[in-house]
Amino acid sequence: MNTIDAGMHKSRTANSPHPVLRIDGVPLEQWIKGVKDVAGDDMTDYLVPAQGWLIDQADYDNAWHLLGPQSEGNATVVPVLVCADDMDMNCTVVVVEQTVNADTVAWERFGQAVDVRHGIVTSVKWITPHQKAVFPLSSFRAAATEMKRLTDEVWT
């Protein structure tokens, strides 16, 4: 089982520390690898959390809503990282397929949004080989709550 928490971190494209989710103590944009740019170079180090960075209010609200564990046994495609330059759902968007069981949240696989309509990811290119992480449900909820608190109360 993996650990998840939230904390402040200065990513490559940020001027100052900002809230991030960390898996096993590693900021998400560093933990996940495999999102390639047109030249085939890994670009995850240049992405920032969708939760907190999206400038469109509907997209911002949707990203937070989708991160929250949904119904048990269902899969949800959650935007987790976006381009720091554009801060919208029209540039690079990294998503995770998130499933919830009685006491765990699993991030089954990561991918790059291929098509986004009105802020909703409609098509995904899944990264292979893919990384997977499984968290205790209570720890996941605590991390999401702390990420929201840091975004709303600490990050300026």
pLDDT in tens, 17-63: 999 999 999 999 989 876 666 556 677 778 999 999 999 999 999 99
Q: What percent of the chain has pLDDT over 70?
A: 94
Contact 18, 28 (CB under 8 A): no
d(CA 68, CA 78): 9
Q: Give the rounded distance of the alpha carbon of 69 from its chain centre.
A: 13
Query: Above 80 in pLDDT, residue 118?
Result: yes
Q: Over the Cα atoms of the chain, what is R_g?
A: 14
Query: Above 70 in pLDDT, residue 85?
Result: yes
Q: What is the pTM of this model?
A: 0.93
Half-sphere exposure of 38 (CA within 13 A, CB side): 1
Helix (H, G, I), strand (E, B) or coil at 38: coil
Query: Above 70 in pLDDT, residue 142?
Result: yes
pLDDT for the residue 105: 97
Contact 147, 6 (CB under 8 A): yes
Mark out the alpha helices in the chain (DSSP H runs). 28-31, 50-53, 57-67, 137-149
Average pLDDT value for residue range 99-113: 94
**pLDDT band of 122, cuts 50, 70, 90:** very high
